[in-house]
Amino acid sequence: ESVTIPENCSTETPTCMIFKPPGRFERLLQPCVAELVGTTFFVFIGCVSVIENVETTGRLQPALVHGFAVAVMVACMAEISGSHFNPPFTLAIFLCGGLQLGMVAPYLISQLIGGVLGAAMSKAMTSKMKYTNATGAAFTILTSDEQLAGALFAEVAMTALVTLVVLLGAVNNKSKSPLVPFMVGCSVIINILAGGDVSGTCLNPARAFGPAVMTNYWTYHWVYWVGPFVGSLVAAALVRLLLGDNKTRIIMK
């Protein structure tokens, strides 16, 4: 590996800091491993919270568990991969200049594999009866075409909200905040509490894909891909056109 020596610095100067750029493993492979591991544990914990949920807690238990899981994993792995754990986040972050094009597909593949592994872990942990009753934490709330418009809009709007928090809190230089793990976690919690009875509040195709694979439940599954991806595009457009700083914004500079 090459070593970069800062300007006005001599290799004979003991106090001089010599910078060694990250190797191929840290640049290419390690971020994908972080996305796989982070998504795996997020989906695992999220699915278990649904499968083991009791009626008296309603949406509160899944909301808190999903939100806290996101916050913890984002805080742990932000410096490794950026802590996306969500395909629409990856797309929006790329569109706003926070990720190289060559890493988009590896991130998406890692997240989807993580979703399946997390769902498999939840099946291994919970009882067969509870797992079956909860359909493996798959999104089963949509049962008729009459629900589609509201559910699709809910997924678009709520994903746009949480993606906007990610972009402004972690990508846009002017508004970056060290509180972004807390902010994203809180956004997930309030979205689930607000829209859980409308669409189930997925916001993440990897979270929907894993349980769908494990239970072979695909009814209206497309909603949990189209809605979140459209929502992430809305958020990216808002940042790129209106809310971003001079570097991120592409118009009215």
Query: What DSSP letter does each residue of 14-59 carry, written as one string?
Result: TTPPPB----HIIIIIHHHHHHHHHHHHHHHHHHHHHHT--GGGTT
The string of pLDDT tens digits covering residues 153-166 is 999 999 999 999 99
pLDDT for residue 4 is more than 60: no
pLDDT for residue 58 is more than 90: no
CA-to-CA distance for 129 and 122, rounded, in angstroms?
A: 13
The sign of the torsion formed by the CA atoms of 206, 207, 212, 218 equals: negative
Buried-exposed string 82-120: b where 16+ CB fall within 10 A, e elsewhere: bbbbbbbbbbbbbbbebbeeebbebbbebbbbbbbbbbb
CA-to-CA distance for 12 and 49, rounded, in angstroms?
A: 58
Question: Torsion angle, CA of 70/76/78/83, rounded to 10 degrees?
Answer: -40
The DSSP letter of residue 12 is T
The string of pLDDT tens digits covering residues 178-234 is 999 999 999 999 999 999 999 999 999 999 999 999 999 999 999 999 999 999 999
End-to-end Cα separation, the chain, in angstroms:
39
- Look over the chain and give the mean of its residue pLDDT values, rounded to a whole number: 93
Strands (DSSP E) contained in the chain are: none
User: Looking at the whole model, is its pTM more than 0.85?
Assistant: yes
Angle, helices 101-125/30-51, rounded to nearest 10 degrees: 40
The sign of the torsion formed by the CA atoms of 212, 131, 194, 204 equals: negative
pLDDT for residue 8 is more than 90: no
Please answer whether residues 198 and 124 qualify as being in contact, where contact means their C-beta atoms are separated by less than 8 angstroms: no
CA-to-CA distance for 206 and 139, rounded, in angstroms?
A: 12
pLDDT at position 11: 52
Token pair for 202? 């997925």
